[in-house]
Amino acid sequence: MFHRLLRYVGFAAPATGAAAEAVLDATFAAARASNPQLWAKPSDHIPTRQAKFEEFCLHLASRLPTAPAARRAVLEAAIARLEVGLREASVGDLGVAKEIRTLAAALHGRLKSYEKHLNNQDFSAFQAAARRHGLAPASIAAAWPPGNASPTQNRKKTLPKPAKPVTRRLISGN
């Protein structure tokens, strides 16, 4: 939103790059493929818009790059696309800023939660986090990255053996 104002006064908008746009295109394609009935509906209805946002967040978490510059570019491009989507859904100019602020905070919170479980390769925790946001099991399984172990397999994590508990013997004064 502010990039338009900056461009108006003579500053160039930050370049998001073709790689960031490619990541977002892949993210939206995966979200549409996992739940085509949802994406066929128009976004002017608030619950539909919220459900599409949840699908987008879920699929973005598994595709977000780890390099800080690339990650920032993808997130800036994502926020710009969210802004365009809100304007196309007939949200007023004054309401767009408030909605973007709310959506950006929600996006960062969801990405933090999902990425923690993705990094730990814990599908059950990932699934629980996604279900808290009302996502269907088919969408959750579709968002699980192909490089990780299959969500249907029983995975045993190799954890170090716990240390023996320290026991103190009470010495009686006999």
pLDDT of residue 112: 93
The domain locations on the chain are 2-143
Query: Within the chain, which residues score under 70 in pLDDT?
Result: 1-16, 146-174
Distances (CA, A) of 170 to 160, 163, 164, 166: 30, 21, 18, 13
* Spatial separation of the C-alpha atoms in residues 87 and 64, rounded to whole Å: 25
pLDDT of residue 154: 39
pLDDT of residue 153: 46
pLDDT of residue 42: 80
pLDDT of residue 17: 80
Tokens 């996006």 locate to: 107
- pTM score, whole prediction: 0.71
pLDDT of residue 15: 52
- Please, is 169 exposed, middle or buried when counting C-beta atoms within 10 Å of its C-beta (0-12, 13-18, 19+)? exposed
**74 closest CA partner among 158, 5, 15:** 15
pLDDT of residue 111: 92
